[in-house]
Amino acid sequence: MHTITPSTSHTLSTNTIATAVTAQRSYLLDTLSQLVAAPSPSGNETPACTTMEGLLQELGLTTERIPMDTDALSGHPLFSCPCSPDGNRFNLLAEINPPGNATPVGLNVLFNGHLDVVPTGPEHLWAKDPYQPYEQDGWLYGRGAGDMKGGIACVLTAIRTLQSLGLQPASRIGINTVVDEEDTGNGTLASLGVLQRARSKARYSGYDAVIIPEPFGETLMAAQIGVCWLTVTLTGRPAHVAYMNQGLNPISAGIQIMQALKQVQDEWNLPKNRHPAFAHVNNPININLGTIEGGEWKSSVPCTCTMGIRASFYPGRDAQEAIAWFSRFIEETARRLNPDLEVEIAHNGFAAPGCVYDLQHPAMQALSQSHAALHGAPPTHLACTATTDGRHFRLATDWAVTNYGPTARNIHGIDECVSIDSMLRVTQTLVHYIVTQCGVVPIASSNVT
């Protein structure tokens, strides 16, 4: 762990950084627009990955494709059962090493971000085509603009800003963009495996700090909730609706099971039951019926009902144990409703434990200080009621990690957008962090393009 201030003679005033980043505004917007215009719902991310590859190469970086390989990951304690086939899907890793492979003078920093996005929902509800990015009143709109292509664009703009100043990092910077974050987190797990295997044989020991620019309003993430997905299929007994009492309605049963789960949610949300990291958060636990399918005919008691449920639980709890607990609860509730109800539960998707981040770590304090240097006050801390890929680094490495990214609106909703000013502010913080923590040196003349 490097905790020393980098021994570089290159310091930049906050004014210089602010001005240099602002000068890259059109690069930032163009980069983000290209990424948004490449649709990338989880499972079909390749258009965005290919666009990203081009953007990294434009910056002069060498990229490595890390293929999705479920078999290689399936034994990992942080693995989630996939929702999509591996296909030819891949992550992208680009690393910038100190010139001449010199010893890093400061922190080695990895930026991690996901390229996959959630479905748009009915496109007619959007003001414009969700994959045709546009700027309005200081916001850039489009599916994924906030979550989280905007944060990725900030990272690229930070590197580009340094290049515009004739500088390059004097420690290792990694940019890892991944697939499959919105349903499993297996993308980051694949890259992490490659990094850990490669580094164990190499001169360096990996990274010191990881920053994930997820769109949480320029906060530093102090904790995140655990999340699991359950697909529950209930089978009842169909009948003509004229003789409804002879049937057994699995959709009605599903609604009652959800009501029972909501009671669990309300109980876990009581202040006395909250994890200390979530003591001041209202409703940290959210159990959501996200999808429902079932029934065949309005005048028939239905045969089946399939519900896609997202449930959450506090840090400190094993994800598989939480999944087993919810499964048992659902089975017991169904049995109480009617012993003839058949219950099948599949566990594809998130098996994501919660975690508490170490914001006292010097590398995280330094990030707070970089934000304060540029923007006047340190960032506030967030106990997040969603999951992020940060858990993999927190739970499987000793690298300091948090989420810090721009302000967005309507993520996972309609007319998603990201604040352009906030992206510029985050980019300024990242440049300051690289300069002060990684150190920078002039670009070797042979490398100048």
Stretch that binds Zn ion, among 58-66, 211-219, 300-308, 326-334 (CB under 5 A): 211-219
CB atoms within 10 A of CB 118: 16
Q: Provide CB contacts within 8 A for 14, sequence distance 6+.
A: 373, 374, 428, 432
Residue 431 has which token pair?
């440049």
Say whether the peptide bond before residue 148 is cis (omega within 30 degrees of 0): yes
Print the binding letters for residues 274-293 with Zn ion: x by CB under 5 A, - otherwise: --------------------
Q: What is the dihedral of CA 74, 174, 394, 224, to 10 degrees?
A: -100
Q: Does 208 bind Zn ion (CB under 5 A)?
A: no
Stretch that binds Zn ion, among 51-59, 143-151, 164-172, 430-438 (CB under 5 A): 143-151
Stretch that binds Zn ion, among 213-221, 288-296, 357-365, 371-379 (CB under 5 A): 213-221
Q: Does 153 bind Zn ion (CB under 5 A)?
A: no
The nearer residue to Zn ion, 208 or 214, going by C-beta atoms, is 214
The nearer residue to Zn ion, 95 or 214, going by C-beta atoms, is 214
The nearer residue to Zn ion, 95 or 147, going by C-beta atoms, is 147
Q: Does 147 bind Zn ion (CB under 5 A)?
A: yes
Residue 424 has which token pair?
């510029």
DSSP track, 380-396: PEEEESS--THHHHHHH
CB 231 within 8 A of CB 308: yes
Buried b (16+ CB within 10 A) or exposed e, 292-324: bebbeeeeebbbbbbbbbbbbbbbeeebeebbe
Backbone angles phi, psi at 158, to 5 degrees: -65, -45
The nearer residue to Zn ion, 411 or 435, going by C-beta atoms, is 411
Cα 367 off chain centre by: 19
Q: Does 227 bind Zn ion (CB under 5 A)?
A: no
Q: What angle do CA 145, 167, 59 make, to 5 degrees?
A: 45
The nearer residue to Zn ion, 215 or 315, going by C-beta atoms, is 215
Residue 403 has which token pair?
């989420």
Minimal distance, residue 445 CB to Zn ion, in Å = 40
Residue 256 has which token pair?
């009652």
Minimal distance, residue 427 CB to Zn ion, in Å = 18
Stretch that binds Zn ion, among 53-61, 141-149, 359-367, 429-437 (CB under 5 A): 141-149
Q: Does 148 bind Zn ion (CB under 5 A)?
A: yes
Total residues at interface with Zn ion (CB under 5 A): 3
Minimal distance, residue 384 CB to Zn ion, in Å = 10
The nearer residue to Zn ion, 148 or 355, going by C-beta atoms, is 148
The nearer residue to Zn ion, 49 or 167, going by C-beta atoms, is 49
Stretch that binds Zn ion, among 124-132, 145-153, 202-210, 218-226 (CB under 5 A): 145-153
- For residue 241, the one-letter residue type is V
Beta-strand pair 220-224/408-409: unpaired
The nearer residue to Zn ion, 8 or 403, going by C-beta atoms, is 403
Binding residues (CB under 5 A) for Zn ion: these are: 147-148, 214
